Chains A and B, each alone.
Chain A
């Protein structure tokens, strides 16, 4: 009997349990999954809670609804991983042994990493929407807010779902317009990046949206501290932005157990082979989703594409065969743009988001990097897809590998030469 242990039963862990349970014989393999929480959260839905579009009930379901019958489920906090001994220590005191380990413990927000962030104003004038508690508290705050300066700040990259902050801004603009108080709210986006988004073509497109919606952009702002008295955020190079309401995307880090186990990088993300998803340090450990250090987006869609690759490679590894499945960094994200419209981006490690049609070239029904009503329908449909297909490990009508079909490739910009006098 071989033990396969999955740490974390969020999007990735639940998907992997379902895929593996279908494929493995239960007299040869024992499948165990550990999570500290009994509730599964549909995190993409957190975005809609502050604006009253979704309620708490829309985004929670019991985790147990999604586990395969033959899986051993343990509800406990993971305390320490000992990869040299093939053991995992739980806070309950139990110690689990494994032959193969899948780490799917995701990422958490760390407002405590920023000086002054969790002081007096925390949850009074400063909110996050990356946790259910934060999103609900912000909804309550916005309900009777009379307006002022709304500052949305990304503390540092990488963050999970890097488009979510932009979506928040677009939805905020729409929300205040519909409440008839857009003129009372100044919206300011303060980012450490040098543009609205990380990838140039999409950044240009999304930057135009900000302008159209009268959202101010402050770039290359790396937050150093929050001044609670004067209500302003201050960058490391001493630039200041005042706020009445601060919506923060705090530093995103892998969980503390990874740090304690000395398995992560400076942000507790686990060094993982970009293509095979095997841990760089231990052959019998695979890593998936937000917990990895892959240079891809941290998103549910990415985790889904990774799950196909991890599944194949884990089985190859178990059978002593070479790992042939290769992850290409594929991400596919709807971007809600307000007023019942949305955009869609589809990209991978090598190809930035481009315009075009998806998934059927020339037809769609979705349009890439363009605002349409259909894309909004796709975004809202993702919730159904997530609960009913994605985390159950069912195949979606989407290839894991990104396809260039349907994409319009811009002409390559000439490399610039420059003359320097020495």
Chain B
């Protein structure tokens, strides 16, 4: 593809900050509150990271630490207040259309026209990415087949499927358009152990087959350990630790016995929380779906 430079940097996040004002449009009226009373949440705080082409890069962190917000900025759904993000050298704000062609996000909530079937929903997605009908239909059946959804289910309204099955269709939609960068926001949350493995295996296979770069946000430490080449731990909108699994264990200074990501997480995030001021903790406690 011509939009892909010879770059090895799939994703470059530089000093990104995102704040949310929790009130609506402000019309300055005499009785409205003064500016100092603004309820602002800092969701992402001067965050930087780089993901190399072909990596599966994991992000873990407690609820409300800004993971989904970061994913939304990368996916062009939110504009950052400060800093820049580029996908293969294309700025997510300035060259949004190019970036959108390169990526596809899967999020924790399935999000479909529920009266329509998986095929009808994916037909819509595929065509908005420029795929023709035949290719879209063929890929839909192929991908959903690999995820264990049979043909009859592909044609039935989505509302008749369980949440886990809908989530698989969401994963299929993400891979349908052959994105080369895939931000996956908790793709396996809510799946049973067998389905979870199916999806994990699928991510690993497609990653190997297609030279795709994956940014995997997860609360499942075992999943991150299993799939990711590199893991970052987020807290309070910042990255507080980063490295390979063994690197993280070493950084955390955990000694004796076999330590996993969970130990590192509790160690690092526990510390990060201890250092945080009270008001920020309150903001971080509110959680995303």
**A in complex with B:** no
